Amino acid sequence: MDDSPATDRSTDSGPPAETDGAPVSRSRSDRVSDATSWFVHGVELAAAALFALLFGIGVVDLALQIAESVPTGEITDPNVVIGFIETGLLLLIIVEVYQTVVAYIEQSNTRRIVRLVIYTGVIAMVRKVIIFRTTEYATPRDALFAALAYGIVIVGLVALLYVERSVGPSLTD
């Protein structure tokens, strides 16, 4: 969690502020800026609520899929289990995106937001590797290129994570 205090994003729709006992009128651009900030904050909250709802629906759906596969014996099929893992990792991606939106809402420092984005990317790429099937590509060469691209992205994300963790503590937030 970010140790710095969150900035108050609320708007002041009350009477004009006073400086040395004299009221200060707010300019039209200040009022428009406040209204715009209020709108963006509302959309951020709506996005966070939507991702929380998607996560909840996904967890219930995954539980139903598992419960339905037990009586039929499909739970022992490796492809079915991989499907469950794929769904579980997708749910983790939703959680990471939710946490990123919440970090924006709380106006967390940029390092925290970048770290969340890196984690989301790592989970997404792990998910791609787990569900990777060469039979889904037209040629073995296409599958090889896809695998190499996934590998390059994973190495890049791991390098970013390493740099963030090793250099990050020496930086001031």
Residue 70 placed within a domain? yes
Asked, for residue 6, whether it belongs to a domain, the answer is no
Model confidence pLDDT, tens digit, residues 14-39: 445 555 555 567 788 888 888 898 99
pLDDT bin (cut points 50, 70, 90) of residue 105 is confident
21 within a domain of the structure (yes/no): no
Residue 124 within a domain? yes
- Residues 49-63: pLDDT tens digits? 999 999 999 999 999
- Please count the structural domains in the chain: 1
The pLDDT value recorded for residue 24 is: 60
pLDDT of residue 108 exceeding 80, the answer is no
Within-domain flag for 68: yes
Q: Which string of DSSP letters, residue by residue, matches 99-129? A: HHHHHHHTT--HHHHHHHHHHHHHHHHHHHH
- 112-132 core/surface letters (b: 16 or more CB in 10 A; e: else): bbebbbbbbbbbbbbbbeeee
pLDDT value of position 119: 85
The answer to whether residue 152 sits within a structural domain is: yes
Let me know if residue 44 belongs to a domain: yes
Domain assignment of residue 117, given as a range: 28-168
pTM exceeds 0.85, yes or no: no
Q: Which of 72, 57, 11 is nearest to 36 (CA)?
A: 11
Indicate left, alpha or beta for 73 from its phi (over 0: left) and psi (-120 to 50: alpha).
left
Residue 16 vs residues 13, 112, 164: alpha-carbon distances, Å: 8, 36, 44
In a domain, 23, yes or no: no
